Structure formats: C-alpha cells, structure tokens
Amino acid sequence: MKLVKLIANLGYGSRKDVTAMFRAGMVTDANGEVLYTDDQAAHADIRIEGEALDPPAGLLIMLHKPVGYTCSTKDPGRIVYDLLPPRFRLRSPLLSTVGRLDRDTSGLLLLTDDGALLHRIVSPKTHLPKVYDATLAHDLRGDEAATFASGTLLLEAETTPLAPATLDVDSPRAARLTLTEGRYHQVRRMFAAVGNHVEALHRSRIGGLGLDDLPAGQWRILDAPDRERLFAAD
C-alpha cells in the first residue's frame, strides 16, 4: 500500500492533506530521515512529526466510559468518540463500539475496526461473560439469584427466556451480575422484572479483561496478551 493511502486510512487526513504533510517534511522514518510519497517503509518505521503511527487495521481499544456519554456517532450530546483522538473517527475501516453501554451506564467499553473480532465478542455462541455492578433502589428480597440463574426468566414483551445469569450480593442494595447475553437494557430490565430499580450501573469486566486502574474517560490500545485475557473465559 502506498504511504499516502496508508496514512490517510489511519485518519490523519484526506489523501490531499497527507500529501501536504509529506511536502512539509512531517513524515520521516524512525531515524528522522524525511520520507517521500513514493518511498517504501514498514508501518512500524514511519513517524509523523516524530510520533509513531497509530496501529494498522485490527485495532482494539478499551475505554473506561463515564456516565453521560452515548455510544452513538450521531447523538447531539456527548459521545464516546469525543474521548478519543479525532483522527480515530476518520479511520478506514471505521472504528465501532463492540456492543453498547447506555448513557447512564459507566465502565468497560471496547471499540474495534475488525468486523470478525467484533462478531466474535458479541456472538451468543462465544458465551463471553460480562460483569456488571449494580446499585439498587430497594433491598434485595433474597430470591433474585435463583430467579436469574433459572434460565426461565422472561423480560417484558419478549418470548425467549434469558440464559442463566449469576448474581453475587455485596450488600442489601448492591450486587454483581454476570451475563453471557447482551439484550437491550438487559440488566436494568432484569432487576425491574423482580420488582427493583437500578440507580447506578457499571460494567467492570468482559471475559477475562477488567479495567484495572484505567481512570474514567481514559482509553488504551489492547495488545496480544490483553486479547488473550479477553477470551480467557471463552
């Protein structure tokens, strides 16, 4: 792939913009030697104003989503893409969220431009567990864990029962729920089905991958060991 197309596909600008960057001497190799549009160079050896290029297609990002952001690209309010470098929205292939967290839910959100990887993560066949920490409006009754684990719970307006889920109670109004599905507003609707209301919701883990110490609003690119951790529970 020609250098102009490669860099444009990473979102650094249009091909016209990238060509201008070459003319301005902004594109160099790892040794600081100026590169030209017809040169050949390995992705890892290219620098723009001294900085290494973003990873090529196949990017996987972990974001600690704060409350108040949506996963849409068109919402007039705050969106999760606002927390990333602007060029990430211009990448080709496009960077997409892996599933969604609603505006009022915080926690671990993945984004990728790899369609096959996205499908593997969200596919029900993968059975990848997702862990949610819920703060509730009312005390738990004590029978919720058995109800969620039964595999017979029907959500309102649905005809297919939920897959069994695991509920671990931390306190009368705080619990951790582990799911292998991802239905619309599933956690909130599950607690509503047993007469409760979720006041705060946080996703802390997907598969074997947790947020660790990543602060809210921050992100990082996941490497090969991270991906292995993600599917460790696969």
Q: Which residues are catalytic?
A: 102
Question: Distance between CA atoms of 97 and 231, rounded to whole angstroms?
Answer: 17
Residue with tokens 């490497």: 223
Question: Distance between CA atoms of 19 and 24, rounded to whole angstroms?
Answer: 9
Question: Distance between CA atoms of 144 and 141, rounded to whole angstroms?
Answer: 7
Q: Using an 8 Å Cβ cutoff, are 187 and 107 in contact?
A: no
Residue with tokens 């201008």: 20
Question: Distance between CA atoms of 136 and 219, rounded to whole angstroms?
Answer: 28
Q: Where does 7-123 show beta strands of DSSP type E?
A: 27-29, 46-48, 51-52, 60-65, 96-97, 105-112
Question: Distance between CA atoms of 229 and 32, rounded to whole angstroms?
Answer: 36
Q: Using an 8 Å Cβ cutoff, are 104 and 188 in contact?
A: no
